[in-house]
Amino acid sequence: MAAGRLPRILLSLYVYPLFFLASGVGIPLLTLVVACCRPFLSHRRTMRRFRRAIAWYGRVVIALPFPFIRVRYEAFEGSAPGGPYIFVCNHRSASDPFLMSLIPEEIVQIANVWPFRLPVLGLYARFSGYLNIRMMDPEVFLARAGRLLDEGVSIVFFPEGTRSPVGPMGSFHGAAFRLALASGAPIVPLCIAGNGDMPRKGSSLLAPGRVLVRRLPALAAAEFRGLTAFALKNRVWQLMDRELALMEGRA
C-alpha cells in the first residue's frame, strides 16, 4: 500500500460513517419538522422550509471532516447577500453541491438526472423546486427558472456540466447565460478551489486539505446588456479562470 494512500483511506473510514450517521438521523428529523409545519404553511413557505433543510444538511456534511478538511467562504466587497442572483460555479468535485449551503441566499440548484434518483434527497430536490435541466425543454426550463427568480429565489448553475478536477475549467454550456439575458438577473461567479480530490473523480477516497469558496462581485445586467449568450459565457469563463489560477497557484 502506497504511503500517500494511507491518509486518504483513514480519513475516508472516519468521515463516511459520520456521513451516513448524520444522514440517517438528520434527514428524517428535518423531514418530520417540515411535515409538522406543512399544514400551517403556504406552498411557497413549505418550499422555503425544504430549501433551508437542504442548506442545514449541507452545512453539517461539510463540517464532518473538520479539522482534516477545512472549508473557508470568502465574499469580495460589493458581493453582499441580496438577489435574486444567478450563481455560476466551477465544478471540481462531487462535494461541490454541499458547498452551496454556504451561500446565504435562498437557492435552488440546477442538476442533471442522477440527484433526482436518490431515494430521499431526490424527493427533497423536487419539493424544493430544483430543476432537472436534462429532462426539460429549453423554453419550459427558462419559464420555470424565471418564475423562481421572480419569487426572489437565486439559482445555482454548474455550467461545465461535469467535473474538471484540476487545471482550467471545461467549456461552459449556455443555459445560465440565456437565463441571465432573458431575466436581467445579476450573475455571481463562485470559484471553488482545493477539493479536486475530495473525492477525486473516479474514486471515493477523501484527501486532507483546505477548500476555498470565493464569491466574486455580481455582474449587473447593465454590464452584459447587448452581449450574446455565447459572448457572455466566454466573458464569465475568462473571469473565473483568472481567479481560479490565482487561487490554485497557476497564475
| Segments making up each domain of the chain, as ranges | 6-247
* Amino acid making up residue 99: L
- Preceding amide of 199 cis, omega within 30: yes
Q: What is the pLDDT of residue 153?
A: 95
Element (H, E) at 190: strand 187-193
What per-residue confidence (pLDDT) applies to 83?
78
Helix, strand, coil in percent for the chain, rounding step 5: 50, 15, 35
Q: Where do the H-state alpha helices sit in the chain?
A: 6-37, 43-63, 96-99, 121-127, 138-150, 175-183, 221-224, 229-247
pLDDT the model gives residue 79: 61
Give Cα separations from 29 to 56, 85, 129 (angstroms): 12, 30, 20
pLDDT tens digit at each of 251 positions of the chain: 455 788 899 999 999 999 999 988 888 887 787 777 767 667 677 788 888 888 998 999 999 999 999 999 999 866 666 779 999 999 998 889 999 999 999 999 998 767 667 766 777 777 778 888 888 898 999 999 999 999 999 999 999 988 887 778 999 999 999 999 999 999 999 999 999 888 888 888 999 999 999 999 999 999 999 999 999 999 999 999 999 999 988 76
User: Please, which residues bridge with residue 212 across strands?
Assistant: 72, 193
Ramachandran class of 242: left when φ > 0, alpha when ψ lies in -120 to 50, beta otherwise = alpha
Q: What is the pLDDT of residue 3?
A: 54
The predicted-structure confidence for 193-241, as pLDDT tens digits, reads as follows 999 888 888 888 999 999 999 999 999 999 999 999 999 999 999 999 9
All three cell numbers of 100: 452551496
Residue 24 CA to residue 59 CA, distance in Å, equals: 15
Please report the pLDDT score of residue 46 as a whole number: 78
Cβ atoms within 10 A of the Cβ of 181, count? 19
